[in-house]
Chain A
Amino acid sequence: MVGGAIGLAGVAVAAALYTQLGSLVTALPGAALLICVALPVFVGGGLLLQRAGVTGRSPGGYPLTLLAPSLAYYAAFFLVPLAFLVAFSVATPLGYGGVSYGFDLGNFSQAFDPIYLRVFTRTLRFAAIGTLLVILVGFPMAYWLARYAPAKRKNLFLGLMIVPFWTSFLIRTYSFLIVLDPHFVLSRGLEDVGLIDKPLHLLYTNTAVQIGIVYNYLPLFVLPVYASLDRLDWKLLDAANDLGSSAFAAMRQVTLPLAIPGLATGTLLVFIPMMGEYVIPQILGGGRVDLMGNIIQRAFLEQQNYPLGAAIAMVLMAALSLFLILYIWLSTRATEVGDA
């Protein structure tokens, strides 16, 4: 009950903030109502579980009802919307966002149209190459941070890795509109040195989008890999050296197996958002490079064909869950190998 009270108090605080700042919107009472409806479902579920003897008070001393508000929130604004998404992907579009509910697989057959399949393979290629490049660029960096960075200034170096995150994602992305511009210093300089014979022609190409993707996702990969390498006992490497293994063999047989969980997490952390990315191609591709995200976005915001967009999104989710299963399988195997 304390939890429910805290959750409602949160919503009340939010409402108060809005009124104070002069914008009470009509939707807010609706939202509160929704949460209130979702809440009993979870409390009831919790009580049933309790009756079944599965749970009680958590041993940490805080009542489980504290979980209720956030679960109610997830139910109202995450799970129900996902259910709507599934329902829409098999509904019949009537135009302008309207649908008639039913079981119509037409959206899916449209989503598997060769045009969209080409976009899908392109997205897969962008995400795969992007992830590979992020690993190539990021792993040595994480390795240096974990092993060789001066201990006193390690926090500073980690902070420097995060600071770009705090400057807006869009600013970071559009900075390449300047950097890659054919009139910018970079292009002119390369021309003067003689490395290229005509102005840089990168803007609004696949390469520009790929650069933008790698640039934006790099820190997201480096941090988890650093975290896993940081726990590694470097004496193991010294031992491997003393026992006569080459630096390369030590890397392959000692460092990599121990780093695999972090590597897998980092890879997943960049690969999944890359598959759904649409802002970077929109800015740096100038509408000429379409990924899955762009197709979904256009289906929703321009064509208003919600069912088609929902079907494409479902295809994307299905593909991603395959990768997720692969990841879980690999990581459990890695821990088994680590234990053995």
Chain B
Amino acid sequence: MRDVLGKLGAFAGALLAVAGVIAVASFVIGLLSGRVSFGGLLVAVVGAALIAGVARLGKVPSLLGGYSALVYLGLFLPIVIVVIYAFNSGRYVTVWGGFSTASFSRALHDDAITSSILRSFRIGLTTSIVSTLLGTAAALALARARAGVRTPAEVVILLTVVVPEVVIAIATLIFFVNVGFELGTTTMFLGHCVFNVSLVTLIVRARFLSMGDSLEEASRDLGAGPISTFWQVTLPRLAPAILAGGLLAFTFSFDDVVISNFTSGAGHETWPLHILSALRFGLTPTLNAAATLMIGVTLVGLALAALALRIGSRQGAADFSTSTT
């Protein structure tokens, strides 16, 4: 009970301190831009008093904890609001008018929504498979290659990560248009893979490097070729990283706006592109409902993936302990 009270106190203290900082900061900004008022000064004084009071009463660790809780709240509240307002039956999207699930059935019967989600799913899956294959292969070769090969490859990989997405997107668009590709699902998939191959390479390589290569060496010394070494030694140990890379590649492709926006051509809307074009005509409860469904599906998928990983690692640990005893 005291624990809970302490946490609440820390949260309130952090809230007051943040309010104080905002008050003082807004006064200083006003001062710098030449707008000073008596009310502003009063607010700033109150804010400074709040900061001083909180700093005197609270301890740093618990205050930081309260502050972090505040940030988490800020991170999740907007998403929660989207979910709640998907159940809004009111005439205006932003004014609560009662509970209803009508928007959900409208969303499920909207062809534009379902077909765009399916298209995103298809592109995401393909991107994920191709990026995982190319990225894993590259990571294996790169991990312990000499600087002469490694450096140019690393520069290219770094470039794909550092160049702003919008620049990559327009470069790919110019390229596709001039080489004679027909814009559509394929061009989007080809565009998505550039970043995601790098992503998988970086993730898998980090894992491969941290594993050490003594088992690979042992396998080679015992006469196994690269292919059987890969299947029997490297792949099982790399599996979590490859899985994580593939999953991330899927998400990034599924969620991609920028490259899709440029390389989709007409009539090939992905789910993010559908949201983007629907927002042009204003927010609708149907869009909220579809978004909520997608959030739900993602969370369930994530939970399943986490569960599978946990069972997998337990299995791995069990195998390991039985094989060593």
Contact = CB atoms under 8 A, between A and B. Distances in A.
B141 A276 contact: no
Task: Give the dominant DSSP class at A's interface.
Answer: helix
A66 B141 contact: yes
A141 B60 CA distance: 12
Interface stretch (B46-54, B104-112, B170-178, B312-320): B170-178
B81 A77 contact: no
Contacts of A114: none
Interface string B245-261: 00000010001011001
Contact of B149 (A55, A176, A218): A55
Interface residues of A, number: 106
A22 to B, nearest CB: 9
B165 A77 contact: no
B197 A148 contact: no
A27 B186 contact: yes
Contacts of B271: 168
Nearest to A218: B75
A148 B272 contact: no
For chain B, what secondary structure do more than half of its interface residues adopt (helix, strand, loop), or is it mixed? helix
Interface in B140-159: 140-146, 148-149, 153, 156-157, 159
Interface residues of B, number: 103
Contacts of A49: 148-149
Contact of A54 (B85, B148, B190, B217): B148
B78 interface: yes
Interface in B55-82: 60-61, 64-65, 67-68, 71-72, 74-79, 81-82
B257 A169 contact: yes
Nearest to B21: A136
Contact of B129 (A13, A137, A320): A13
Interface of A: 2-3, 6-7, 9-11, 13-14, 17-18, 21, 23, 25-28, 30-31, 34, 46, 49, 54-55, 58-67, 69-71, 73-74, 77-82, 84-85, 88, 97, 137, 140-141, 143-145, 147-149, 157, 160-161, 163-172, 174-179, 181, 183-185, 215, 218-219, 247, 272-273, 275-276, 278-279, 282-283, 293, 296-297, 300-301, 306, 309-310, 313, 316-317, 320, 324
17 contacts: A2-B227, A27-B182, A27-B184, A31-B190, A60-B145, A61-B226, A80-B175, A82-B163, A84-B174, A88-B174, A97-B177, A147-B61, A164-B76, A167-B298, A178-B283, A310-B174, A320-B162
